[in-house]
Amino acid sequence: MRNVFETETHFALGGPVADLIAERTNTVDRVVIASFEHTFAGIPDVALVATGGFGRCELLPQSDIDVLLIVPDPIRPEVTRALEALLSQFWNLGLQASHIVRNQRACLEEAERDLTSATALFEARFLTGDRGAFDRMMAGLDAPNIWPPVAFLRAKREEQRERHARYNDTAFNLEPNIKEGPGGLRDLHALQWVAKRSFGEERLQAFATLGLASQEEQTELLRARDVLWQVRFGLHRLLKRREERLLFDHQRELAAQFGFQDANPKLAVERFMQGFYRASATVRRLSRRIWERLEARIDPSDTTSTPLENGFVVREGRLHHDDARALETSLDRLVQALRLLAQSPEPMRPSAALAGAMSQLSSQMDAALSPACAPRCRTCCARKAR
């Protein structure tokens, strides 16, 4: 039965990793639902819910299958017996299942107390059983005492800062953590969690529609995510156990697995890791922009502004402009922004909107500026836009 969940052949043939992850999640969905409906047949008032990566439909070969069972209060003996049978069946099927059993009141109380528990419930996905129990729990999460959007955003932002600090706040560690490190998958999850809490939508594919990213940024972000997924999928497949660190030995084996070849094995590994680092740096760069947009939309009162000239202001060490359209279409504004950044007596970075405009307009500089000036401005734009 374990082989039902292996997609190694498709992976080895170069199948799109997003399709492989979706296929794996759908397969596990069917098996978990069938197991529940068999063991809980005739037992009402119990809901089976997917949480964590299972709830996000992001199951990789060694991912835990996190489930929540919402049970009545008090819990009846037949529910306890059915639960024991369900867990036994999971074990026999080779499912790495992690389960929590709570009634609705306990779910909401735990969500109020604990940020991690609240996050798991915000992204919960109904599987089968008592749909009413699930809907009542989700409605209860909208109570003002359970991490309203502003509080949730601030808590998640601080959580990410602390996590990044554990990895020296860089996406270029020699043995990076694919999931938890800066520029890793957890950075994307944090954005998705905040978007879900505030706008009811967590898919990265919807970020352009939500106004959190341009269409180009969204495409770039999805490509980078797929690279991280591909490497993580390959690592899980290689080791047959859960591991998120790209250790040196793993880098060499994965480089060969992904077809990087060179007479000098070190060069093959370097080429493989360059692709990983580019994807990670992309996630880091675009995440910063999206965080800024989230904060401007959800928590605008949390910052103070210092006005400069011609619509430019400084907020929290970043240079902003009050007219995003002008930034996207005016090279004059762009050059003015570069001057303000260069002349600032204090360290200052461009805002998300300004960084995006720098990336888009830098390609137009050859026609607008002198041959001697254009390359220098392009280089400056690229550096400031990171």
Q: Please write the tens of the pLDDT for every residue from 370-379.
A: 555 555 555 5
Given 98, 113, 140, which residue is the final one in a domain? Answer: 140
Q: Are residues 86 and 229 in the same domain?
A: no
- Classify residue 275 as exposed, middle or buried by CB count within 10 Å of its CB (0-12, 13-18, 19+): middle
Q: Are residues 153 and 132 in the same domain?
A: no
Q: Are residues 160 and 270 in the same domain?
A: yes
Q: Are residues 78 and 184 in the same domain?
A: no
Which pLDDT score, from 0 to 100, does residue 300 have? Answer: 79
pLDDT above 90 covers a percentage of the chain that reads 63
**CATH code for the domain of 239:** 1.20.120.330
Task: Give residue 92's domain range.
Answer: 2-140
Alpha-helical (H) ranges within 127-214 are 131-140, 149-166, 185-199, 207-210
Instruction: Say which amino acid occupies 275.
Output: G
- As for how many domains the chain has, the answer is 3
pLDDT band at 352 (very low <50, low <70, confident <90, very high): confident
Q: Are residues 196 and 264 in the same domain?
A: yes
Tokens of 232: 């993580």
Q: pLDDT tens for residues 250-277?
A: 999 999 988 888 777 788 899 999 999 9
Q: Are residues 156 and 293 in the same domain?
A: yes
Q: Are residues 159 and 262 in the same domain?
A: yes
Which pLDDT score, from 0 to 100, does residue 166 have? Answer: 94
pLDDT band at 210 (very low <50, low <70, confident <90, very high): very high
**CATH code for the domain of 17:** 3.30.460.10
Question: What angle do the packed helices 215-239 and 185-199 form, to 10 degrees?
Answer: 130
